[in-house]
Amino acid sequence: MTDTFDGGCACGALRYRMHSRPMFVHCCHCKDCQRQTGTAFSVLVGVPTDALQIEGADNLGSFTTVGTDTKEDVKRQFCRECGSPVVSIGDAFPGVTFIKAGTLNDRSWLQPQLHVWTDSAQPWVPLDAHPGMTLPRGPSA
């Protein structure tokens, strides 16, 4: 894994930098992630909130979804200028911020360890390529 761990939105108004290594990488197939990202699933990097520094936070918009099963709030934060989803913060995970992995400057090291909310996964997503890493239920972020 790289030591370079920074990224930002499409227009550059929002940048972030991490001061520690990521805790985990997972793919979330929940319907809220599908809708928010406009695609089949989110690739999320979990990081300690304390170690994440966001520049341009004035441009950070936020929309809260409530997990269908968990009933927990997820704050989905995005750039107000370009609309890129950048981070999510879930009440179910205090102290953890989920970075949308596509916003990283260096994505070469990404290796998802887990697929969650696979009940709503699109049928053509090859979950079988990751045996032992799927859960029928999991956290929504």
Q: How far is the CB of 69 from Zn ion (least distance, A)?
A: 11
Looking at residue 84, the DSSP 8-state letter turns out to be -
Q: How far is the CB of 129 from Zn ion (least distance, A)?
A: 20
Q: In terms of CB distance, is 28 or 43 closer to Zn ion?
A: 28
- Length of the chain equals 141
Q: What does residue 50 show for φ and ψ, rounded to 5 degrees?
A: -60, -30
Q: Which residue has the tokens 């990488």?
A: 25
For the chain, the C-alpha Rg in angstroms (whole number) is 14
Q: In terms of CB distance, is 1 or 69 closer to Zn ion?
A: 69
How far apart are alpha carbons 11 and 25 in whole angstroms?
24
What are the DSSP calls for 25-53, one per residue?
EEEE--HHHHHHHTSS-EEEEEEEGGGEE
Q: How far is the CB of 117 from Zn ion (least distance, A)?
A: 6
Q: In terms of CB distance, is 25 or 79 closer to Zn ion?
A: 79
Residue 17 pairs in a beta bridge with: 6, 53
- For the record, the structure tokens of 30 come out as 């929940």
Q: How far is the CB of 10 from Zn ion (least distance, A)?
A: 5
Residues that bind Zn ion (CB under 5 A): 9, 11, 13, 28, 30, 33, 79, 81-82, 140
Q: In terms of CB distance, is 20 or 139 closer to Zn ion?
A: 139
Q: How far is the CB of 30 from Zn ion (least distance, A)?
A: 3
Q: In terms of CB distance, is 18 or 121 closer to Zn ion?
A: 121
